[in-house]
């Protein structure tokens, strides 16, 4: 008999969101590659971690599973009061459990703390769509 999947509530209750560190980058790049996002790669994330926007690079970690590590991440930049969310991705096995939503909320909180007044998220489907939020 297979082990039942943890519920959304159980995952979120034991999830932490932390600022990304260079130790997370191998997993972040793996998630990026598996999620079909435009490629940044290790060097671009590493360079971003050295810059002024490093507080806008977050990872979500489930604390209660047999496979700890990075379940998802989000990366944004703040310029002139605008928060630009560049990448957000969640490991396929953790999707539809609220982790994407949690990461988005945490980055919007951080954007507000940095006095951003508008946030933009570009989503590429058939045509690029840009969503903007008033913070």
CA 126 to chain centre: 22
Q: Tally helices (H) and strands (E) across the chain.
A: 4, 6
Q: Residues 10 to 69: which contact ligand COA by CB under 6 A?
A: 35, 37
118 contacts ligand COA (rule: CB under 6 A):
no
89 contacts ligand COA (rule: CB under 6 A):
yes
Tell me which stretch binds ligand COA (CB under 6 A): 14-22, 41-49, 75-83, 87-95.
Answer: 87-95
Residue 60 C-beta: closest distance to ligand COA, Å: 9
Q: Which of 89, 57, 69, 55 is nearest to 16 (CA)?
A: 69
101 contacts ligand COA (rule: CB under 6 A):
yes
Residue 99 C-beta: closest distance to ligand COA, Å: 4
> Is residue 57 within a helix (H) or strand (E), and if so which, with residue range?
strand 57-62
123 contacts ligand COA (rule: CB under 6 A):
yes
Residue 73 C-beta: closest distance to ligand COA, Å: 9
Q: Could you give the C-alpha distances from 18 to 21, 31, 77, 127, in angstroms and in order?
A: 9, 17, 16, 32
36 and 87 Cβ atoms separated by less than 8 Å: no
Residues in contact with ligand COA by CB under 6 A are: 35, 37, 87-90, 95-101, 123
């Amino acid at each position: 008999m297979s082990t039942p999947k943890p519920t959304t509530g159980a995952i979120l209750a034991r999830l932490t969101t932390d600022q990304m560190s260079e130790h997370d980058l191998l997993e972040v790049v793996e998630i990026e590659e598996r999620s079909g996002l435009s490629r940044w790669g290790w060097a671009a994330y590493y360079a971003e971690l050295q810059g002024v926007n490093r507080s806008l690079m977050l990872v979500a970690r489930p604390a209660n599973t047999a496979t700890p590590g990075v379940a998802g991440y989000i990366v944004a930049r703040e310029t002139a009061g605008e928060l630009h969310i560049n990448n957000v991705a969640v490991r396929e096995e953790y999707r539809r459990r609220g982790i994407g939503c949690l990461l988005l909320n945490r980055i919007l909180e951080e954007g507000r703390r940095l006095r951003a007044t508008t946030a933009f998220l570009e989503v590429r489907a058939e045509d690029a769509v840009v969503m903007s939020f008033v913070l």
